[in-house]
Structure 1
Amino acid sequence: MSAETPVCQLLERQDADYRGWWWVAPPRDGWLEGGEGCLVSADLAIREAWLARGRAALSPLDNFEAEVPGAVLFWPKAHALGEWWLLWLCANLPEGTPLQLVGEHQGGIKRVLKVLAALGLGCRKLDSARRCSLFETRTARLPLEPEAVWTQFEAEGLTLASHPGVFGHGKLDDGTRLLLEQLPGHLPEGEVLDLGCGDGIIGAWMAREGRTVTATDVNTFAVEASRRSFLANQLTAEALESDVYSALDGRRFSAIVSNPPFHQERSIDYGPAARLIEQAPQHLLPGGRLLIVANAFLPYADPLERSFGSFRVLADDGRFKVYLAER
């Protein structure tokens, strides 16, 4: 199979032996998934796709011991996250391990030169095509540890953990704030689900109000951020990696509350939000409620109508809408 994405098309034409290499934070691409090497990704959906094909796949929070001849880092849209991956690779691979960095020009791959220089890492350009560039460096011992990238901030009377690449990094999103304003009087008692938990602000707010909370996210860093947020506020809540409802084993809740994602890197992707709405009735108790906030332009009215028969708009500030649907 030929490579499907521009970054992988650039890699496909390299005269390089990638056997045993790590592919770090890549996009979905059949050429990559059918080739050699091991995936390292914070995206559960991508790891599960690799595992389904019998390929090795790791989370960056896994414990591992392996001989790694080299690694390719796919530079992410969030540059601070790319910098974290560099710190992590330098901390976990032997000094001098070959490291390639690839990305699209629109995604800011050219900024890698300044990032590497600031870290004291040498660099040379290997190739450029398909509006992408490929650079090469080697790992080195750095004075900054990956753990140092974790930060905290305050919002809604809560202390929240934050990591680059997690939604709302370092601040409370305006849509989430509008959703939280609507929860009093509309959030039922019982066990509730914070789906797409991010830094854990919604789950922590609900736990503080006395609900039994399960928080899920497809992103490893988001799940860890939520766990740290719950701990920082001395709240008891469960946080799980889950691709929408994949880890919930048919569990049902009195409410599902979410600020669902609609971006995958720079592209709009309605898939997770559509599955969240379509499958919500299967995960709600009779009379259970779905409460979501979304950008006002997003087309969620039709799927809500199809899945629930009716819904209400609890708030609309021109930028965001808060929807309520009841099973």
Structure 2
Amino acid sequence: MTRFAALSLTAGLLALSTAPALAEQTYLDMSASYTSSDLDGDTLDQYKGHVATELTFGKLTLSGELNGSQLSVDDSDIGVTDFRVLLGYDVTSAFTAFVGTNQTDLEGEKISNTLIGAEFGMNNYAFGFAYADLEIDNTSSDAWQIYADYNTDAYGAYASVVRIEDENFYLAGFERDTSLYDASLDYTSFEDVSLADLNASYYLRPDMRLNGTLGYYDIDNSNITNVGIGAGYQVADNVWLDLNASQLKGEGDTMNSVSLTLSTEIGAPRLRASERIYSFYDLYENLYIGDF
């Protein structure tokens, strides 16, 4: 993957946004970012791209997501690409069955899973379960997940349990959105790893905001903290440009980072499984902290 491949991924699913009139686009989320970090005199450059969209065709819901990341350290590069697709069918107005696939490439190592599941929705609540056949280098594993989700314009919350072979993953989160501020808290726990992140934005005016991040990570009994501040400006309708600085500090190591992110998000996914189903790319993002 070339240096700018992660950023170019943001164009990957744009064709879906120009689908025929018979399809209704209910969600679009895109971002591209560059992060420069300094770790004990070494420079780390990371490029990331993300596109997610959802289309509905009557009783059918199609969601797709494309992610890419390239991390460069001296002369070494670590590249990851990730593609996910979910297709849901409304059996009833409250019950949706879905199938999907997730393909990830980590420096030539292929990770894939095929899943089947169902989601029950009632008012602003959603409850779902999924079974996945996870394959890594021709070795298959069974994976299960159950989740609960609550979502309104002002509040959001979720809880989920993922089981891969004999290992359990626990995920939970809460968010609050107002015209004055946005805030979210996310927690992930598995094996000897516990990760907690608090993110918030305060709007000085509708097109200008201040950002803050606070993270606490317990990884194999080693404590890591992450503190960040920044600001954002709305350069076009629903398009934000954010500049943030952060410091990741562990036992004896400190990493200072500056990031620039261009992002947009319109609507909300109708099929909550598209956000709740845990993937290998999510795990990679979590473990990147541990590699610090």
- One fold, TM greater than 0.5? no
More helix by share: 1
TM-score (norm 1): 0.23
Q: Which has the higher contact order (CA 8 A, sep 6+)?
A: 2
